[in-house]
Every structure is written in structure tokens, then in C-alpha cells.
Amino acid sequence: MIGIVVVSHGLLSEQLVAAASLILGEAKAIKAVTFMARESLDDLRRKTTEATNEFVEDGCIIFTDIMGGSATNVSIEIMKSRNDVFVVTGVNLPMLLDALNSRENLSLKELAAQASNSGVRSIINLKEFFEKRAAKRV
């Protein structure tokens, strides 16, 4: 099974994993890695490497919180050293749910692309959405 590692500043990764578990039930092969204020980049690198090393057989996707942040930069280092790791940044709950639901049916590369697309599609300006919808009814 493709592993999922969520890496973030603060507790965001743990909370996303908890929210996904609330919605889908307890998931297997998922890890949350936090990066707290008093930790070093070496601490983050060690924790992220340990988490991804659990998924060497089927590979994993690392979801990170923000492009250019420490979580993403460390994850990119790991991705560059391994062919079985993909990194998708800008993690949100819909992309995480989609990845958890689809990972048994897709390749690692396909899953990373689908999760990324799912995350983008889930971002909707509802004011604009409802205005366009109302205009179509007229």
C-alpha cells in the first residue's frame, strides 16, 4: 500500500490526519510529522526520513503545508534521493481524503497527480460560485 506522510509546521499535520480518520475511519500507512518552533532542521529531516522509510516497499507521497517552507525543503531532499517518493505541497483535507481513498487503485505517480488536482478543485470562492449559479437561473 502506498504510504502517506503529512509534514507541517506546528500541529497541522496531526490535525489533518485526525480529521481524515474522523471522516474515513482509522487509516493504515499514514504518518504525521510535525515541525515545532524549538526543533532544528536536522530534527525535521530525521523525523521525515524515518516516516518515509516505513514505506520503502510501495513508496509514499509526502504532503507538505507550504512551498518554500522547511517541511517542503526537507521533503524535496528526500524525494531527490529516492525514486519511490513524491512531494505534493499545499496540503488540504480534500486532497488527503482523495489520496487515502484512491491509493490502492493508482500508481504512485498517478496518485500524486490526482491528489494535487483534487486539492485545487476543492478550493472554491463560494460567493462567486453562488452568484454564477444564480445568474444561470435568470
Q: Which amino acid is at 94?
A: P
Q: What is the pLDDT of residue 93?
A: 97
Q: Which domains does the chain have, with CATH numbers?
A: 3-137 (3.40.50.510)
Q: What is the pLDDT of residue 137?
A: 82
* Nine cell digits for residue 14: 496531526
Cell numbers 516516516 correspond to 51
Q: What is the pLDDT of residue 96?
A: 98
pLDDT of the chain, 138 residues: tens digit per residue: 999 999 999 999 999 999 999 999 999 999 999 999 999 999 999 999 999 999 999 999 999 999 999 999 999 999 999 999 999 999 999 999 999 999 999 999 999 999 999 999 999 999 999 999 999 887
Q: List, for residues 16-56, the tens digit of each pLDDT value.
A: 999 999 999 999 999 999 999 999 999 999 999 999 999 99
How far apart, in whole angstroms, are the C-alpha atoms of residue 64 and residue 21?
Answer: 18
Helices of type H across the chain: 12-24, 41-53, 70-81, 93-102, 108-121, 126-137
Q: Which amino acid is at 105?
A: N
Q: What is the pLDDT of residue 120?
A: 95
